[in-house]
């Protein structure tokens, strides 16, 4: 089975599992999030499993479970140097008959709901989930470089030692008759 053109119904009905790995370059939208070239990204590892969940008095629900992870170089927001972050996603998706049903159930169900497709791009879904799992603020636990914790401008003190031009004007004013 090709995960880029997955028949979700057959995949779930036969309880098929797939797994794979790939280079970050094969995932262009996720690769845009990497920072610098000092750290090498790890392989993107993924796996997915289809399953049917029997429903009493109704049709079985179609589910796709996915798990993916990658070590991604990002910019530490404290020291602004590269930090290798582990980005992981683990989600389950329930599939329904069409987009209208998915939209109707989306507001009331806690499940992640998608419309059934016979040509579903599961790898794009994996990439989407990893992008959604990116850390909001990537940080080193301990930064490798000392981070300056003050915002003192060395030129500030030198500027205060210059004569005040208004002080000179005030001196001229004192010599004028009233």
Q: How far apart are the first and last CA of the chain?
A: 98
Q: What is the pLDDT of residues 83-106, one digit of tens each?
A: 999 999 999 999 998 888 888 888
The two three-digit tokens of residue 41, written as one number: 């990204």
In-domain check, residue 89: yes
Q: What is the pLDDT of residues 8-23, one digit of tens each?
A: 999 999 999 999 999 9
Q: How many CB atoms lie under 10 A from the CB of residue 11?
A: 23
Please tell me the total count of domains within the chain. Answer: 1
Per the structure, the complete domain to which residue 102 belongs is given by 3-145
Q: What is the pLDDT of residues 38-80, one digit of tens each?
A: 778 889 999 999 999 999 988 899 999 999 999 999 999 989 8
The CA distance from 168 to 72, in Å, is 60
In-domain check, residue 152: no
The CA distance from 146 to 82, in Å, is 14
The CA distance from 46 to 60, in Å, is 26
Q: How far is CA 174 from the centre of its chain?
A: 66
In-domain check, residue 161: no
Q: Which residues are paired to 73 by β-bridges?
A: 84
In-domain check, residue 150: no
Q: What is the pTM of this model?
A: 0.77
In-domain check, residue 106: yes
């Amino acid at each position: 089975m090709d995960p880029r053109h997955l028949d979700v119904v057959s995949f779930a009905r036969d309880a098929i599992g797939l797994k794979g790995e790939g280079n970050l370059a094969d995932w262009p939208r996720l690769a845009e999030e990497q920072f610098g070239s000092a750290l090498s990204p790890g392989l993107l590892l993924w796996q997915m499993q289809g399953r049917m969940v029997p429903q009493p008095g109704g049709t079985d629900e179609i589910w796709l479970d996915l798990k993916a992870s990658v070590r991604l170089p990002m910019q530490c927001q404290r020291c602004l140097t590269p930090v290798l972050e582990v980005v992981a996603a683990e989600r389950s998706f329930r599939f329904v008959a069409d987009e209208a049903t998915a939209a109707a159930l989306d507001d009331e169900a806690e499940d992640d709901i998608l419309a059934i497709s016979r040509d579903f791009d599961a790898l794009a879904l994996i990439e989407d989930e990893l992008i959604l799992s990116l850390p909001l603020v990537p940080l080193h636990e301990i930064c490798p470089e000392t981070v300056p914790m003050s915002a003192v401008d060395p030129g500030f003190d030198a500027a205060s030692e210059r004569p005040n031009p208004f002080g000179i004007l005030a001196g001229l004013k004192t010599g004028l008759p009233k």
